[in-house]
Amino acid sequence: MAERILIVDDDRRLATMLAAYLAAAGYAVEHRATAAEGLAAARAGAHDAVVLDVMLPDGDGFEICRNLRGESDVPILMLTARGDDTDRIVGLELGADDYLPKPFNPRELLARLKAILRRRRGPVAGGDAARRAPLRFGRLEIDRDAREVRVAGETRALTSYQFDLLAALAERAGRVVSREQLMEMVKGETLEAFDRSIDVHVSRIRAAIEEDPRHPRRVVTVRGQGYVFAKLQDAG
């Protein structure tokens, strides 16, 4: 069955072009032009991903993103018309999986969409890879196959992108990983990104797993170099 994509954008010409492009790539596409219609469709339909514009005639994509994140872990790719870093950071802080400034190349949007859908799907059941044991660090458990993060047995909410960032760091515990290396590991392909996107996602990860996110002991910043995942068994 084709994966279902919801486009929420009031630019009907752009949406029509994008819908045709994604349909040609094998996706089933639905389009809504307002914030109210978009939120209702996202809540009613079993979509595999949402492509969400920030600027809409009756509201903004940030509010839709905020509402959806309170109810669902559906991947969200946000479109920012101004290409403003502030818009991108706000979207990521609200739980968006990725962003793309307008104007954009449809091929790049398709590549980013494939990346977040691939992360959502996780390992293929019955595939060649054997089931991996969860990574355990004290109270923190990272189950890469179930794609769940638990602290003292309690599941913590992360977007698919944030989960992959955490897993990539945990698999290299004790080693410093640069932002550029993290983006390459997680996206699986070279795509333009702005430096602060990783910082925003790491901030969300810390909020989910650290006892005191303002003074993290698990995901530690190494100034000028990147991040290191601490091996301390009692850090979280």
User: Could you list the residue range(s) of the whole structural domain that residue 173 is in?
Assistant: 135-229
Q: Does a structural domain hold residue 234?
A: no
Residues 186 and 99 in one domain: no
Residue 140, amino acid: L
Domain of 213, CATH number, reads 1.10.10.10
Rounded Cα distance, 43 and 62, in Å: 16
Below-50 pLDDT ranges, the chain = 124-128, 188-194
Q: Does a structural domain hold residue 130?
A: no
Residues 102 and 148 in one domain: no
Residues 224 and 186 in one domain: yes
pLDDT of residue 196: 66
Rounded Cα distance, 221 and 200, in Å: 13
Nearest in space to 92 (alpha carbons), one of 105, 106, 117, 75: 75
Residues 57 and 108 in one domain: yes
pLDDT of residue 190: 39
pLDDT tens-digit map of 85-95: 777 778 888 88
Rounded Cα distance, 17 and 14, in Å: 5
Of 61, 90, 121, the position where a domain reaches its end is 121
Q: Does a structural domain hold residue 127?
A: no
Of 69, 93, 121, the position where a domain reaches its end is 121
pLDDT of residue 110: 92
pLDDT tens-digit map of 170-200: 999 999 998 888 877 776 443 444 456 788 8
pLDDT of residue 141: 93
Q: Does a structural domain hold residue 216?
A: yes
Q: What is the pTM of this model?
A: 0.66
Domain of 55, CATH number, reads 3.40.50.2300
Domains in the chain, number:
2
Q: Does a structural domain hold residue 80?
A: yes
| Vertex 187: Cα angle to 186 and 190 (nearest 5) | 125
Residues 103 and 195 in one domain: no
Residues 80 and 33 in one domain: yes
Residues 93 and 15 in one domain: yes
Of 86, 121, 156, the position where a domain reaches its end is 121
Q: Does a structural domain hold residue 128?
A: no
Q: Does a structural domain hold residue 157?
A: yes
Rounded Cα distance, 117 and 111, in Å: 10
Residues 108 and 141 in one domain: no
Using only C-alpha atoms, the chain has a radius of gyration, in whole angstroms, of: 18
Sheet with 219-222: strands ordered across: 176-177, 226-229, 219-222
